[in-house]
Each structure stands twice: as structure tokens, then as C-alpha cells.
Structure 1
């Protein structure tokens, strides 16, 4: 009888000591206010940068600026009207470029940056440059004005370019090698 009572007592203890787990509630709850604040801050940054770029364009009467649908501005230093070939996905391009601040201070000169060989859309390159190269033909030199979100953005390049720095870049496209030609070699 004693064994039976102990077993019954043990079963009862096990039954009543186990209960379903309860969800833990967070100590603090955050709303989407941080995201909304970040969106507003970024809109202000973009507007201020575009204002600066528009002021540069208005002051410069010697060049004809073109507004890209991709969110940057450019003008041709040297334009080639005889060829029609622009780089496509997978094509290999060779180009030189420099980077300056909007007030003209050199960040990286073309001598500091070696001639770059880039496979279109298959390698890392900041979005403005990637989109700008697609507008160019072999032998052309173009000056681009990139707002920071089209250049190095919030993080910069972790060397000479800080966060949210719009840049001016003069790019010379030396050579375009089409993808099917590089595969056949």
C-alpha cells in the first residue's frame, strides 16, 4: 500500500508540476519610428546633395549636363559619334577614373587608381559607376556627378571617402571586349 501511495503521489507531482511554456514578452517594445526617422534623414541628405549638384550645373555654362534616369548627372568631355557599341552584361571593360568631392578636391587621382578591368555586372563596383559605364563607348571620356547613394553611400570606402559623400568622377573608357569574344579565346 505504501508503494502504491508513493507511486500515486509521484504521478500527481509530475502531472501538476509540468505546465505549458509561456511566451516571454520583450522588456521594451519598439515601433517603426526608427525606420521612419532614417527614411526622413535620408530624404534630407539626398535633397541637399541634389541641391549642391544643381548649383554646380547652373554655374557651369561650358558643359551640357545630361540627367540620367538612374539618379546622377554627366557630361561628355570626349564623345564618339561614330561607334554605337556600349558595354552589356558580361562584357569586359578597361577604364581609368578619378574621384573628387563636389568642391573639386581630389580624393583619388587617376594616377593613384590603376587602370581597372571590370566584367560588367559580375564584379563589385559602386552602382553609379556601373550604370555610367553602360552609357559610354570606347574612347569616350565622361564626367559624372554622383550623389552619395549612387557612390559609396552610408559606409564610404573605409579609407578616404567618408559616409554620405557625393563625388565627381571623370572616366575614360579605353576598351570594350564583348563577352562572347572573351569566351572563345
Structure 2
């Protein structure tokens, strides 16, 4: 009887190994994301090359590079103030949108005068950053890579996928909050 009990206990303990984890049917290698990153980097390099060619051909103007990644030059400078728009300020401005080849996509007349609450309303990324660089009565032309413009989706109207843009922005009024 004792031998039977010991054998029975050995069978019970040996069968309590717990569940074994199943191996995944498919494994994710991350290759899709790596390929997507590589495509985006190549696209940005190509667009930056086009922008650099424009800057090189336009040697009469001094272009500056913004922290967000756009390039710009001033057409009108306001030396009487140092104030640039901050979050929650109301900014009244107008702008146009062109291709890098100067083909008009949206004119200032098409867009009209825009009243924008800084960082609280939806504009494309490059325009949001550009508005914060300019003072009242200043005008500048910006060159945006597509990643700062409308990106992969475009504007679902006139601006296509991955289109770098050129825009001249004029700040008409800044109302501090």
C-alpha cells in the first residue's frame, strides 16, 4: 500500500508542470516600420535638396533655418518691437500657399484674413511655427518640407501627398492675452 501511495504521489507531482506557453504563429520583424522610416528619411533628404537649390539660386536673400525645420527670409522687418506671438495670443494674418516652383495653390485672396489663437486652433505644423517667429507688420517667405506642410495625406483638395510648400506670411495684428 505504501508503494502504491508513493507511486501515486510521484505521478501527481510529475504531472503538475503547469501550462507550457504557446509559440506565436507569426513573428513581427519590424521590417515594415524600418522601411517606412527609410522612405521618410529619403523623402526628407530629397525635399531638403530641392530647398537648398532654391536657396542657392536665390542668392540675393538671406535665408534662416527655423528650429522646426523650415527655411525663411524676411520681406519686411519690424525693428520697433521685440514681441512675437505666444500661446493664447490672437494673431491676425494672411498667407498664400505655393509649390516650390512658384505655382499658386491657394492665393491670399482664396484664403482671406485669418484670426488665429496661437497653439489653440488647427493649422498645418509649419504655419503654426512660422506665425510664432514673426512680429506685427513683418512679412516673410517660408519653405516647408512636406512633413511640416500637409504630409502624406495632403489637404484632400488641391495639395497632393508629400508636397513641400512655399508660403508668404504677413502678420497684421497681435493681440496679447
In the superposition, the TM-score normalised over structure 2's length comes to: 0.85
Matched, 1:118 2:142: no
1:160 and 1:102 mapped to 2: Cα distance?
Answer: 15
| Alignment match, 1:8 | none
Match of 1:54 among 42, 52, 55: 52
- Give the Cα separation in 2 of the matches to 1:169 and 1:129: 9
Give per-residue Cα distances to partners, 1:110-156, cap 9 Å, x unaligned: 11001111000011111111111111011111100000001111111
Select 1:89's aligned residue among 79, 87, 90: 87
In structure 2, the gaps of 5 or more residues are 1-18
Equivalenced residues, count: 160
Quote the RMSD (CA, aligned, Å). Answer: 1.6
State the Cα distance separating 1:84 from its structure 2 match: 1.0
Render the CA deviation track for 1:31-86: whole Å, top value 9, x for unaligned: 20000000000000000000000000000022110111210100000111111111
* Alpha-carbon distance, 1:87 to partner: 0.4
TM-score by length of 1: 0.82
Counterpart Cα distance in 2 of 1:148 and 1:24: 44
The DSSP-based 3-state class of the residue aligned with 1:137 is: coil
